[in-house]
Amino acid sequence: MSQVHFFIAAFPASETLRGVLEIIGQTFWLLLVLVAPFVLFTVLIHFLEHLIQVRLASRFGWRSVLWTGWLGTPIHELSHWVLCKVFRHRVLEMALFEPDKRSGRLGFVRHSWNTGNWFEEVGNFFIGIAPLIGGSAALAGLLWFFYPDAVSNMITSAGFTQGVDAVEQTSFTGMIFASVKSLLADLLSPAHLVSWKFWLFTYLVLCVGGHMAPSRSDYDGASRGVTLVVLAVVGCLLMISLLGFETDDLVKAMLRFLSPIFALLVIAIVICAIATVVVHILTAFFPERFTVT
């Protein structure tokens, strides 16, 4: 019995009402499975970015953000630009890297859209969270460029190269754990820790990971389309539930489909966490000279 079935069974009601409640429960259970990992990823990325920026700014002042922003900010803004083009928004003005100490802004993309056009309205959501997508892709590219063997080992250990049957027999958490374990074993090997390539890789990860979280204005923009996105997802999931598919089967199918994406997000978190730890260790030798608000 699925979690939804167990919950519904606890309420005495007519068969019709119970059926309606079960369909609603299945819909929102599937929505939770689909959305919760992305929300958690966003929160963790924000937390790590905050730790990095505050640590550097408290030791070296506001200009320390430029040490990482020269690369991370253009990737951040280009991610917005690409999704603007995908959703047919008009880009009015763009600055890939234009630091402004007074506002704290490092770059921007100004765009417009047709109010009432559902496709362009939905695009606001994806444009707002675009830096998470672009940043994760950039981190994956860095990992592949510097350590292709680590990527190969990670994919093999997670079971992605063993066919569909093997993937279906492996739990979602097992695949993620195997990916992370393999990556950590490769990246943190003694040979890598004394190599200049590892430290260059860590610095570039710091540049990207320190600027991949959406800003407050990005979230404001994303909020314009989030209602339509949620309604569309709920509508699709409700239709699937009405067709009689079992929730557990759908959850497993979703996790199998999304497991490579979730694995990439987890790897991005792990890589950013390593860079955060490195920053805190290296800056421990410098006094805290600036107040960060």
* pLDDT tens string 11-58: 555 566 666 666 666 667 766 766 777 788 888 888 888 888 888 888
Residue 241 in any domain: the answer is: yes
Structural domain of 187: 14-73+128-283
Residue 122 in any domain: the answer is: no
**What pLDDT is stored for residue 1 in this prediction?**
47
Tell me phi and psi for residue 90, to 5 degrees. -90, 120
**What pLDDT is stored for residue 258 in this prediction?**
67
Q: Which residues contact 17 (CB under 8 A, 6 or more apart)?
A: none
Q: Which residues contact 277 (CB under 8 A, 6 or more apart)?
A: none
Average pLDDT value over all residues in the chain: 79
Quick one: tokens of 62? 């506001």
100 - beta bridge partners? 105
Residue 1 in any domain: the answer is: no
Q: Which residues contact 55 (CB under 8 A, 6 or more apart)?
A: 279, 280, 283
Nearest to 264 by CA among 132, 174, 162: 132
Distance CA 148, CA 245 (A): 40
Distance CA 36, CA 30 (A): 10
Answer whether 183's CB lies under 8 Å from 146's CB: no
Residue 4 in any domain: the answer is: no
Quick one: tokens of 165? 């049957």
Is a pLDDT exceeding 80 seen at residue 67? Answer: yes
Taking only the tens place, the pLDDT of each residue in 146-192 is 988 888 877 776 555 554 444 454 566 676 777 777 777 888 888 88
- Which H or E element spans position 94? strand 90-95
Threshold 0.95, pTM exceeds: no
Q: What DSSP string describes 20-43?
A: HHHHHHHHHHHHHHHHHHHHHHHH
Residue 249 in any domain: the answer is: yes
State the Rg of the chain over Cα: 22
Using DSSP's 3-state secondary structure scheme, residue 3 falls into helix
Distance CA 26, CA 35 (A): 14
Q: Which of 97-111, 187-201, 217-231, 242-256 has the lowest mean pLDDT?
A: 242-256
Quick one: tokens of 59? 């030791």
Distance CA 162, CA 159 (A): 5
Residue 57 in any domain: the answer is: yes
Answer whether 157's CB lies under 8 Å from 182's CB: yes
Using DSSP's 3-state secondary structure scheme, residue 244 falls into coil
Residue 102 in any domain: the answer is: no
State what percent of residues in the chain have pLDDT above 70: 74
Total domains, the chain: 1
Helices (H), 188-246: 190-193, 196-209, 216-242
Distance CA 246, CA 235 (A): 17
